[in-house]
Amino acid sequence: MSALLIRGARLFDGDTWRDDAKIAVVDGRFVPAANVPAGAEVIDAGGLLVVPGFIDLQVNGGGGINFNDEPSVPTIERICAAHARFGTTALLPTLITDRRETRTAAIAAGKAARAAGVPGFLGLHLEGPHLSAAKRGVHAAAYVRPMEEADIRELLGVLSDGGPTMLTVAPETTPIDAVQRLAAAGGIVSLGHTDCDYETALAYIAAGATTATHLFNAMSPLGHRSPGMVGAVLDSGISAGLIADGIHVHPAAARIALRAKRGPGRLFLVTDAMLTIGTDLPDFELNGRTIFRRDGRLALADSTLAGADIDMLSSVRYAAEHFDIGFDEAIRMATVYPAEAMRIGQRKGRVAHGFDADFLMLTKDFDLKSTWIAGAKVYSA
């Protein structure tokens, strides 16, 4: 049995702040302080903040490698470790549109990573290849294609493992009955990279889609006569990821969206991070094309954005400062809301009895001191 007691911290549990808190962990889960056995490790955290660990549902890479480059367990380990340095304790390695055999390898890697218990690995996000050609963004045109029955069977096989899985699809290339089948099997079906109209989006939401991928980006915009995919997200109960780097979405648009969003779904933060996180690497290759890293921006030579060059801690800071929501709500957007979107809100995203002991220790200036996953320290600044 492993046991830990943290004393004296200012705790944000996902709902409210508590001063001089006692935070207890036994065998990787939070327990009431009274339940900590004798001989537990005791940490004095006076002067520090403790918050839930961040959850990132769209991570293309980190630590110098993208998931597409080499979909394997070592790659997943490297990406998770890179993002733990910035407070992310659970993430979905994201495979963007690629060859069929690359997706098959990614699926096998995800299954093996789950079996191995890789710290920080939550599940897979398969973003494409079933996207709209008109809104494919940086996704390689040669690999964008309609979903076929063989694809559905392969994806149902992923979902049969029982781990959290997000699937980004576009109505233009994905049959509506496929969404019904994938959602019924437990998949988190996310609408993205689509030019569909408002009515079509609502039909796919009714069929089982519950999230949308990077709101505003690569989707039909909100018009006063044609609400588009953006309008469907804001006017329905689904959740949606939002990139908070000041490049993908203007802060005014984010503020408007946050005020307009109808529940029960929420907007949550995603990084859409590429391999640059945790490195000083300059340009890199993606599907045979050069991605240029300039002033916090990743893009092709024609200025098409190619993921993001931001970590989750920086995203939370940016949202708190520029979205008029403050740190409490910004933290929820990186913890509580993504956990709810993935239907794991009963075990992750909060510091509460029975939850996984994923948490961060921060200074009062919101600088990271340490990252903990299942009660074990995985990074110390």
Whether residue 136 is found in the same domain as residue 225? yes
33 plus 66 within the same structural domain = no
Give domain status of residue 25, yes or no: yes
Whether residue 199 lies inside any domain: the answer is yes
100 and 47 both lie in a single domain: no
> Is position 346 within any domain?
no
Same domain, 281 and 146: yes
Catalytic residue selected from 13, 245, 272, 309: 272
Residue 38 binned pLDDT confidence (cut-offs 50, 70, 90): confident
Q: Are residues 267 and 367 in the same domain?
A: no
> Same domain, yes or no, for 229 and 285?
yes
Q: What is the pLDDT of residues 293-312, one digit of tens each?
A: 999 999 999 999 999 999 99
Please check whether residue 107 lies inside any domain of the structure.
Answer: yes
Domain that holds residue 62: 54-341
> For residue 356, is pLDDT > 80?
yes
Is beta strand 49-52 parallel, antiparallel or unpaired with respect to 3-12?
Answer: parallel
Condensed to tens digits (0 to 9), the pLDDT of residues 331-348 reads 999 999 999 999 999 999
pLDDT for the residue numbered 338: 98
Same domain, 9 and 68: no
**pLDDT score at 353:** 97
pTM: 0.98
Q: CATH number for the domain including 293? A: 3.20.20.140
Question: Domain tally for the chain?
Answer: 2
Mutual orientation of helices 198-207 and 176-184 as an angle, nearest 10°?
30
- Residue 37 and residue 96 in one domain: no
pLDDT band at 319 (very low <50, low <70, confident <90, very high): very high
One domain, residues 27 and 134: no
Residue 219 counted as domain residue: yes
Q: Do 314 and 361 fall into the same domain?
A: no
Q: How far apart are CA 77 and CA 116, in angstroms?
A: 10
| Pair (37, 13) in one structural domain | yes
Same domain assignment for residues 76 and 221 = yes
Catalytic (active site) residue 272: yes
CATH number reported for the structural domain that contains residue 41 in this entry:
2.30.40.10
